């Protein structure tokens, strides 16, 4: 993820302190959705750094209706925001509404918020359309002293968005996804051989790697991480890595692959 500029960090910390009593008061009053939208606009400007007049709009039409807010930078639509009243708990129905808006616009990113809780989703254009929760934070729980909290908020700032912070953060999550880890455990020969060595060290038995992979699939890992589109994508990634390594071995001269024995001392 790109580094957090010092001036942005100071702005985030200052705004967290400044908006906390405002958010608490508005939630205690259980203000309407319209008033929550006004508060979100202030947050987008003061906390997240967008130009409230040039880059934040409530006039973006989607199939005859208007989404609550949209972010446009240099005239290009970058982000949609679905806003619910501050007293509402965000639920699956709200998520679907937000994702449907983004899907209709061909946007990868959409935010669902009630001004306190913020949920950032990445839209996957599959059949049916899916959404992955990439980041979530609560502005009343976030601490200006907590680096992790500040980093998550930075994802949605103007500076973070233009530097690709969201895409980097999402890619880092994918690198440790349960689907990729499952594919590595069951298909990568280096990983399976490492497991076999540990089994032999502990039990003195040399188990074939095929048996280890079979046991992992049948008895250790959940079926949900081995089946479906995301599992298939992870499997292809591991298979491509294995084939690339195999092809490299095939074109590397044997002398370059094998260690050279030292000549006996005379």
User: Do residues 166 and 152 make contact, with C-beta atoms less than 8 angstroms apart?
Assistant: no
d(CA 131, CA 121): 6
6-173: in CATH 3.90.1570.30: yes
pLDDT for 266 equals 41
What residue ranges do the domains of the chain occupy?
A: 6-173, 178-250
Predicted local distance difference test score (pLDDT) of residue 264: 47
Q: Quick one: pLDDT at residue 222?
A: 87
What does the pLDDT read at residue 253?
A: 60
Point out the residues of the chain with pLDDT beneath 70.
1, 59-66, 126, 173-176, 229, 241-242, 245-266
Radius of gyration of the chain (CA): 25
Q: What is the pTM of this model?
A: 0.70
Closest CA to 135 of 105, 180, 171, 86: 171
- Label residue 25 exposed, middle or buried (CB < 10 Å: 0-12, 13-18, 19+): exposed
Token pair 């290009």 in the structure block, residue: 76
- The DSSP string of the chain is -----HHHHHHHHHHHHHHHHHHHHHHHHT--HHHHHHHHHHHHHHTT---TTTTEES--EETTEE-SEEEEETTEEEEEEEE--TTSPP-HHHHHHHHHHHHHHT-SEEEEE-SSEEEEEEEE-SSS-EEEEEEEEETTT--TT-HHHHHHHHTTSHHHHHTTHHHHHHHHHHHT-HHHHHHHHHH-HHHHHHHHHHHHHHHS----HHHHHHHIIIIIS-GGGTSSHHHHHHHHHHHHHHHHHHHHHHHS-HHHHSPPPPPPP-
Q: How far is CA 265 from the centre of its chain?
A: 58
The pLDDT value given to residue 260: 46
Determine the Cα–Cα distance for residues 124 and 109; give it in Å rounded to an integer: 9
């Amino acid at each position: 993820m790109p580094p957090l500029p010092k001036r942005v960090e100071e702005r985030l910390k200052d705004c967290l302190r400044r908006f906390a009593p405002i958010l608490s008061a508005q939630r205690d009053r259980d203000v309407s959705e319209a008033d929550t939208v006004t508060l979100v606009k202030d947050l987008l400007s003061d906390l997240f750094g967008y130009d409230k007049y040039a880059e934040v709009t409530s006039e973006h039409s989607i199939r005859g209706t208007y989404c609550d807010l949209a972010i446009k930078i240099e005239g290009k639509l970058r982000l949609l925001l679905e806003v619910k009243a501050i007293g509402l708990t965000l639920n699956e129905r709200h998520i679907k509404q937000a994702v449907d808006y983004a899907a209709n616009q061909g946007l990868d990113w959409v935010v669902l918020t009630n001004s306190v809780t913020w949920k950032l989703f990445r839209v996957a254009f599959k059949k049916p359309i899916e959404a992955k929760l990439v980041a979530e934070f609560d502005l009343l729980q976030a601490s200006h002293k907590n680096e992790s909290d500040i980093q998550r908020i930075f994802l949605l700032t103007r500076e973070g968005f233009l530097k690709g912070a969201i895409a980097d953060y999402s890619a880092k999550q994918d690198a440790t996804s349960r689907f990729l880890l499952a594919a590595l455990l069951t298909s990568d020969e280096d990983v399976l051989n490492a497991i076999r060595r540990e089994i032999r060290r502990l039990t003195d038995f040399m188990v074939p790697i095929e048996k280890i992979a079979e046991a992992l699939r049948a008895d250790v890992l959940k079926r949900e991480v081995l089946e479906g589109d995301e599992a298939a994508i992870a499997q292809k990634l591991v298979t491509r890595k294995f084939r690339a390594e195999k092809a490299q071995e095939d074109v590397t001269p044997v002398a370059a692959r094998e260690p050279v024995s030292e000549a006996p001392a005379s």
